[in-house]
């Protein structure tokens, strides 16, 4: 997920499946490991409710559009609403969302 240094937006779900986290990065796998405490650099907000798992991600391309998409995605609350908004906003921009189990 990081062969060409494109930016990605991603949606994580916590252990209890009540908490979600949305972020943007150039390396989704590395960032997930950071959130789970395997590597240094995870967000404070993800220190609890580990392990986090990747629920969905979308390749955006450039940094600014990725950060803008991340900001818009964070406006929704709750897992169902965030996943729905994640898909809608991505599709509105012609992006393909990958949803994982």
Rounded Cα–Cα distance for residues 82 and 5 (Å): 25
What local confidence, expressed as pLDDT, does residue 44 receive? Answer: 86
Neighbouring-strand partners of residue 8: 25, 59
DSSP-based three-state secondary structure for 86 = helix
Rounded to 5 degrees, what are φ and ψ at 45?
Answer: -65, -20
The torsion defined by the Cα of 57, 2, 38 and 72, in degrees rounded to 10, comes to -30
Q: State phi, psi for 2 to the nearest 5 degrees.
A: -145, 30
Ranges of residues in the chain with a pLDDT under 50 are none
Do 1 and 29 contact (CB within 8 A), yes or no?
Answer: yes
Domain boundaries, the chain: 7-99
pLDDT of residue 41: 86
30: tokens are 């590395």
pLDDT for the residue 3: 59
Which residues neighbour 65 within 8 Å (Cβ) at sequence distance 6 or greater? 7, 93
Predicted structure pTM score: 0.89
| CATH class as words, domain 7-99 | alpha beta
DSSP structure class, residue 62 = S
Mean pLDDT of the chain: 92
Q: Give the per-residue pLDDT at 45.
A: 86
């Amino acid at each position: 997920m990081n062969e060409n240094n494109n930016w990605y937006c991603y949606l994580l779900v916590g252990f209890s499946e009540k908490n979600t986290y949305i972020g943007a990065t150039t390396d989704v796998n590395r960032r997930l490991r950071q959130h789970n405490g395997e590597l240094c650099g995870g967000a404070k907000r993800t220190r609890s409710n580990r392990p986090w798992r990747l629920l969905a991600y979308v390749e955006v391309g450039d940094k600014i559009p990725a950060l803008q998409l991340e900001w818009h995605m964070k406006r929704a609350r709750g897992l169902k609403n965030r996943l729905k908004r994640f898909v809608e906003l991505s599709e509105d921009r012609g992006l393909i969302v990958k949803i994982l189990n």
